[in-house]
Structure 1
């Protein structure tokens, strides 16, 4: 395990500023090679050397672990750019030895990376062990790791029973509020319902809407709804369209696009809930229109 060892006599260690100066320089060099020069192999090699240089250094104010995390973050990005993503988890474990010791932000990166390349199962065991480790429940990124584990691993893999156990167990209690837990259960049930339905396009996975771009279907629905709302507003003077529904739709659209960030994994639960509300309102508002249209076609 590459770690900052403790217990060495302070007299044998160089002054902290002198010891950390080359480490800081290597981290800056790796960042420049990554972001400016786009030399990903050189960036990874620099990160690897920096991590080895941390061996034998005595930590002070957690600076040693901060540098270790910085090198790992850049190294993960470099491996991904080099299309060597399959080596990421094993390389990270070389630095932290045990899965539960991986920092939350690095665990998040690994889950997202393996989900992006279509191999979420690789991170299933590591993320599960990390979440069940008692000391990790108090770290700042615990909730995000739990959300990513649920939405990018368990739900896409169809592990509904394990997802329910996670939500109802100690992890769910520590990570989510009661409303969030209920919404998470709704997401799991919706995924199972879609898996039971035969997909219209056999080349499209029934979970693609959840794992790829969950807000895409919502946007199309909202666009269609806005067109109908425009036509209905033109008839408001006749009293045939209740204005309170228009205000409700406007409020939901505002919350969805201006108060939530769809790019955040934590927003998907609320997007799914809003989508269900919009779908119910759509049916209530426009079902008579479609029934009349169907009857006219039969004539």
Structure 2
């Protein structure tokens, strides 16, 4: 997914909340150095594989007993998600996150938001359905600052696109929705759900009842449309010949014959199968025009011979 924006997923370079904490142990100092290196590889050098490898090494060095471990882990995971996305290895993002958090309910809100957006971007929202549902129904997560954003993303980018209108309505109106959405957001969410429900209730078009190309102007192929225009033009010329038949034979009729021959022999390739129907129609019209122009002459000549 090299087309994805690095700024959209990558965290800011500064990790001020970590730097101004109490003095770091030697292990955490090494971890912080790896975190800086991963950020530089991702955002400056754009070496995505090196950035991901550095994140993996940093996660392995974390001291679980330190209270700042959670901040470091989340930072490494944010950088790692961006690196995997840039490497087009997005399909492994959720499993990689679960290696470090073990349970979906323990994933930080910001990382859950990123995962929903990432899998939505690649059209794989269903991958996040179970994880997001478990996360939202975990009581401890309802107190997190990003809880409402996760609920909103889950509603708009997972449930509604997948057509799960009942679960979407329960999310908006149920216990989860009461804590996640304001009154205005709840009403907007219901409107979105009802619109999706109406779309689901519309019967699919019946192919057997679809109008045929002969009766529907919307289903006429480009070739058929061109043939219709050509036929209309030729009929116009034919009518002009009828009008001009009372005048002198000559120049006007010769000109019309030249135009038709030019269209027949120059503008169309007789070797193309697509030209056959055109040529057939032209020959029919030429025959009608010939009979119109010269039939009276031949009839008069035949009558004089009989006399």
How do residues 9-48 of structure 1 correspond to structure 2 at under 5 angstroms?
16-48=24-56
Aligned to 1:176: 181
TM, length-normalised to structure 2: 0.58
The DSSP-based 3-state class of the residue aligned with 2:25 is helix
Quote the offset at 1:17 in angstroms.
3.5
Contact 2:119/2:128, CA 8 A, preserved across alignment: yes
How do residues 253-264 of structure 1 correspond to structure 2 at under 5 angstroms?
none
Aligned to 2:265: none
How do residues 78-93 of structure 1 correspond to structure 2 at under 5 angstroms?
78-93=83-98
Q: Which of residues 105, 126, 149 is equivalent to 2:154?
A: 149
Quote the offset at 1:16 in angstroms.
3.2
1:71 aligns with 2:76: yes
The higher radius of gyration belongs to 2
Contact 2:27/2:61, CA 8 A, preserved across alignment: no
Cα distance in structure 1, aligned partners of 2:203 and 2:88: 34
How do residues 220-239 of structure 1 correspond to structure 2 at under 5 angstroms?
none
Cα distance in structure 2, aligned partners of 1:16 and 1:24: 9
How do residues 106-117 of structure 1 correspond to structure 2 at under 5 angstroms?
106-117=111-122
Deviation per CA, 1:139-164: give whole Å up to 9, x if none: 00000000000000000000000101
1:51 aligns with 2:59: yes
The DSSP-based 3-state class of the residue aligned with 2:66 is coil
Cα distance in structure 2, aligned partners of 1:34 and 1:83: 14
1:165 aligns with 2:167: no
Deviation per CA, 1:71-100: give whole Å up to 9, x if none: 000000000111110100000000000000
Ranked by relative contact order (alpha carbons within 8 Å, sequence separation 6 or more), the top structure is 1
CA gap 1:150/1:140 in 2 versus in 1, 3 angstroms: same
CA gap 1:183/1:24 in 2 versus in 1, 3 angstroms: same
Consecutive aligned runs of 4 or more in structure 1 exceeding 2 Å deviation: 15-19, 194-200
Q: CA-atom RMSD, angstroms?
A: 1.8
Quote the offset at 1:180 in angstroms.
1.8
Deviation per CA, 1:195-241: give whole Å up to 9, x if none: 444799xxxxxxxxxxxxxxxxxxxxxxxxxxxxxxxxxxxxxxxxx
Cα distance in structure 1, aligned partners of 2:100 and 2:192: 35
Cα distance in structure 2, aligned partners of 1:194 and 1:16: 57
Quote the offset at 1:46 in angstroms.
0.1
The DSSP-based 3-state class of the residue aligned with 1:148 is helix
Question: How many equivalent residue pairs?
Answer: 184
How do residues 231-250 of structure 1 correspond to structure 2 at under 5 angstroms?
none
Quote the offset at 1:192 in angstroms.
2.0
Can you give the 5+ residue segments of structure 2 that lack an aligned partner in the other structure?
1-22, 206-307
Q: Which of residues 137, 144, 154 is equivalent to 1:139?
A: 144
Cα distance in structure 2, aligned partners of 1:199 and 1:34: 47
